[in-house]
Amino acid sequence: MTRESESGLPIEPVYGPDALDGWDPAEKLGEPGGYPYTRGVYPSMYTGRPWTMRQYAGFGTAAESNRRYKQLIAHGTTGLSVAFDLPTQMGHDSDAAIASGEVGKVGVAIDSVDDMRVLFDGIPLDRVSTSMTINSPAALLLLMYQLVAEDQGVSARQLTGTVQNDVLKEYIARGTYIFPPGPSLRLTADIFRYCRAEIPRWNTISISGYHMAEAGATPAQEIAFTLADGIEYVRTAVAAGMDVDDFAPRLSFFFVARTTILEEVAKFRAARRIWARVMKEEFGAENPKSLMLRFHTQTAGVQLTAQQPEVNLVRVAVQGLAAVLGGTQSLHTNSFDEAIALPTDKSARLALRTQQVLAYETDVTATVDPFAGSYAVERMTDDIEAAALKLMLRVEDMGGAVSAIERGFQKNEIELSAYRVALETDSAERVVVGVNRFRLDEEEPYEPLRVDPEIEARQAARLTLLRAERDRGAVDTALAALRRAAAGTDNVLYPMKDALRARATVGEVCDALREVWGTYVPADAF
């Protein structure tokens, strides 16, 4: 009996040589670290060293998050990943009326460079790699990070990490956009140029399919719409006068890892192959690093359940294994209690230990690309590649990712997939352990971590003090320079940095840009 994959593609009960009829290993596979990078972007992969264990964390105040980061580092985390609260993600200060009730809830509250200094107090930025999940205000948080490094005496040329900076997926699946697509893409290009000149080791964008997957995208949709967004960013940078090989080596991607191991491995392999060909054939990239799809993976939060939460430990282990077998460059494993509340110290430590078991107690790091040549995985890789390319062609026929976004194409496709999964779960056609099968009559009690409700008042008090202490004239002068740059063609990051150094707040800087660029209102909001 044939089953269907998450992407709606057939999975045969048995695969044999006929599954690969007319299949050329040299064309499809290459060697590890060689074009088209199906087998991984580096020749040795994990046989040399494991992936970066980058645990995502951030909640409450900068001081609370700083303590969590130091605990993670002490437990063996090799890279930090910062979660910001919704007001910060939307470019609002903690004392803004619109921020009420959301301060510090889904990430750390950062209102100014003062908070950023507290967030990284005692953490040597020349020795830690930091990823920041921030999009519309990505430039602000990157510049604050640079200012903190300068305080530590660390050169910007030593800094390593990633800023997500992927606003197109916000219009598709997540909603934390600020500006219309045109100015947002201009800001992205300015970040590319700035980092090439000032922070050359920084990954300037993490083009994200993760949030699309969490919204309901299938694996084929996830890579199709993500790579289509990547093409749009490359076109924007090239149109702004940049040579593709000057910025493409610093592009990175961000995907989900689900419990469906075989399809996830196939997805990662297909994505690498598609991207390599696009960069070579469409954009004429010559630097091999421009062709490499390097990516971070996070296990699937949407698959975690509040019922019998300890079962999530098993789900996360399976998802993490899928990411590793698929060749990820860095990995975040979710904590088992995330469907209930913010992770506790213990659950965050267990999530990290999951990665450490995979890296040091299994044999998956002993050989590169262990699934190479598997009849099942190679056929599934071809199938998901074909499905993704078909979707990418539909996006192209609409004029590219931005035009498709404006027509609601990607959002509609993802919503239809999410609806199908919901129906299958409700009918128990799709088994979810502990939810629609193998349930308990009574759930065991669990005490979650709770965010202090006084955080909002404390952040507001910090802002009042900051505004009283700083040189208001210097802030106004810097913000005026930022508005002039935004209205013209100069790179906005240089006056933005001056404003942040003068202790302008996130809300003030974003408001200055809103005055010039306006805000985005989706077509379906009318």
Question: In this predicted structure, what is the pLDDT of residue 1?
Answer: 63
Cα(407)–Cα(440) distance, integer angstroms: 45
Whether 487 is covered by a domain: the verdict is: no
Please report, as a single letter, which amino acid is at residue 413.
E
Whether 402 is covered by a domain: the verdict is: yes
Q: How many residues does the chain have?
A: 526
- For a pLDDT cut of 70, what percent of the chain falls above it? 99
Q: How many domains does the chain have?
A: 1
- Is residue 435 classed as helix, strand or coil in its secondary structure? coil
Cα(405)–Cα(403) distance, integer angstroms: 5
If one counts every other C-beta atom within 10 angstroms of the C-beta of residue 66, the result is 19
Question: In this predicted structure, what is the pLDDT of residue 526?
Answer: 40
Of 144, 271, 157, 288, give the one whose Cα is nearest residue 212: 271
Whether 251 is covered by a domain: the verdict is: yes
pLDDT in tens, 432-445: 999 999 999 888 88
Whether 220 is covered by a domain: the verdict is: yes
Of 275, 299, 301, 305, give the one whose Cα is nearest residue 288: 275
DSSP 207-255: EE-HHHHHHT--HHHHHHHHHHHHHHHHHHHHHTT--HHHHGGGEEEEE
8 Å CB contact between 195 and 151? no
pLDDT in tens, 3-55: 999 999 999 999 999 999 888 888 889 999 999 999 999 999 999 999 999 98
Whether 275 is covered by a domain: the verdict is: yes
Mean pLDDT for 455-462 is 95
User: Which residue range forms the structural domain that includes residue 408?
Assistant: 3-426
Q: What's the CATH number where 396 sits?
A: 3.20.20.240
pLDDT in tens, 278-305: 999 999 999 999 999 999 999 999 999 9
Least confident of 177-186, 214-223, 448-457, 466-475: 448-457
pLDDT range class, residue 485, cuts 50, 70, 90: very high
pLDDT range class, residue 524, cuts 50, 70, 90: low
Residue owning tokens 């590219």 = 400
Cβ-Cβ contacts under 8 Å for 79 (sequence gap 6 or more): 52, 53, 54, 55, 128, 129, 130, 131, 161, 330
Cα(515)–Cα(521) distance, integer angstroms: 15
Residue 448 phi, psi dihedral angles, 5° rounding: -80, 165
Whether 463 is covered by a domain: the verdict is: no
Whether omega before 17 lies within 30 degrees of 0, making that bond cis, reads: no
Whether 518 is covered by a domain: the verdict is: no
Whether 279 is covered by a domain: the verdict is: yes
Residue 448 reports pLDDT greater than 80: no
Cα(184)–Cα(91) distance, integer angstroms: 13
Helix axes 506-517, 493-501, angle to 10 degrees: 150
Cβ-Cβ contacts under 8 Å for 278 (sequence gap 6 or more): 227, 231
